[in-house]
């Protein structure tokens, strides 16, 4: 679908453009730095136990306008605590469990597991504050905080550690369908219901939650064409777009099939930069919004 540049006069409010998995690999960290300096990237979410977390922190310290938050990891990757401390949350390799459905049921039944979950969440918050970066926002790997048990724990710990905002992956499917033909599925409807619940919990706790978040539908394949079309159809309010940029498509820890380099190029594409310049959009961070909006 072709669009006339700058076709819509709209009041977009605030736009936050975030890179997830900051600290997972140097290929991601490098892309984050370049896309912030030369593109529209305004924020990044740090995996505090990621293999390249120290490199990510060094880069963030020389990027004073990059808004950095915590990317809580409760699945698949390495935890902050030792496997002995959270034995019910890790597999034989010492990584967080991958069987998220079974884990979801066990978290409901087991107080012991919930206490381990809380301990790991607290440890990741403490590790983040320990690096000395301002905490702009909090989000969760694989959006696992859509699980009510996880969501409540994340919100409670976030408040204690002074967080201002939590990502809620509520993606307006009507906007997606304006960009390209996309079928609404039972899974997408279920996700929306869970996200509505989570947003009510986040806001009820006095934390900032966005009005809409884009990234789930095109996760790993957020191309320049999609980004450009989305920018021309954004609703009003506080909007977050999250992406997964990297300088290579394959690196240690990369997800199979993800088009990391395409997402990186999308953030720096001239047409995208031009659209931002000629609109009322100015990518910011959650902390910037929290300081301006009661």
Task: Say what the pLDDT of residue 96 is.
Answer: 97
Could you tell me where the beta strands, DSSP code E, fall in 57-192? 67-72, 138-140
Where do the DSSP E strands lie in the chain?
14-22, 43-46, 67-72, 138-140, 212-214, 238-243, 283-284
What pLDDT sits at residue 19?
Answer: 98
Bridge partner residues of 139 (DSSP) = 71
pLDDT value at residue 187: 81
**Pairwise CA distance, residues 28 & 85, whole Å:** 30
Which domains can be identified in the chain, with CATH numbers?
14-292 (3.20.20.370)
Which stretches of the chain score pLDDT less than 50?
1-11
CB 131 within 8 A of CB 57: yes
pLDDT at 61: 97
Task: Please tell me the predicted confidence (pLDDT) of residue 188.
Answer: 81
* Per-residue confidence (pLDDT) for residue 190, from 0 to 100: 87
Count of C-beta atoms within a 10 Å radius of residue 8: 12
Say what the pLDDT of residue 294 is: 62
What is the spatial distance between Cα 70 and Cα 166, in angstroms, rounded to a whole number? 10
Task: Please give the model's pTM, rounded to 2 decimal places.
Answer: 0.93
Whole-angstrom distance, CA of residue 79 vs CA of residue 96: 6
Helix, strand, or coil here: 284?
strand
């Amino acid at each position: 679908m072709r669009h006339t540049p700058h076709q819509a006069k709209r009041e977009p409010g605030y736009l936050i453009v975030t890179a997830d998995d900051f600290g997972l690999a140097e290929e991601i960290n490098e892309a984050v730095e370049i896309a912030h300096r030369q593109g529209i990237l305004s924020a990044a979410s740090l995996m505090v136990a990621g293999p390249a977390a120290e490199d990510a922190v060094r880069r963030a310290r020389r990027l004073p306008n990059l808004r950095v938050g915590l990317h809580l990891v409760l699945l698949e990757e390495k935890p902050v605590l030792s496997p002995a401390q959270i034995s019910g949350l890790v597999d034989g390799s010492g990584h967080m469990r991958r069987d998220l459905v079974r884990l979801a049921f066990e978290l409901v039944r087991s107080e012991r597991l919930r206490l381990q979950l809380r301990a790991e969440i607290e440890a990741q918050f403490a590790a983040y504050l320990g690096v000395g970066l301002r905490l702009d926002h909090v989000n969760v790997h694989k959006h696992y905080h859509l699980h009510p048990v996880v969501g409540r724990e994340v919100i409670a710990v976030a408040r204690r550690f002074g967080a201002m905002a939590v990502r809620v992956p509520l993606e307006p499917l009507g906007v997606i369908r304006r960009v390209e033909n996309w079928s609404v599925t039972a899974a997408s409807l279920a996700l929306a219901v869970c996200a509505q619940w989570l947003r009510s919990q986040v806001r009820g706790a006095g934390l900032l939650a966005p009005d809409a978040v884009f990234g789930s539908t095109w996760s790993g394949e957020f191309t320049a064409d999609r980004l450009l079309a989305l920018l021309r159809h954004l609703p009003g309010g506080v909007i977050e777009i999250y992406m997964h940029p990297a300088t290579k498509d394959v690196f240690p820890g990369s997800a199979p099939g993800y088009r990391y380099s395409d997402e990186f190029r999308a953030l720096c594409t001239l047409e995208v930069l031009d659209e931002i310049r000629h609109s009322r959009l100015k990518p910011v961070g959650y902390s910037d919004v929290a300081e301006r909006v009661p």
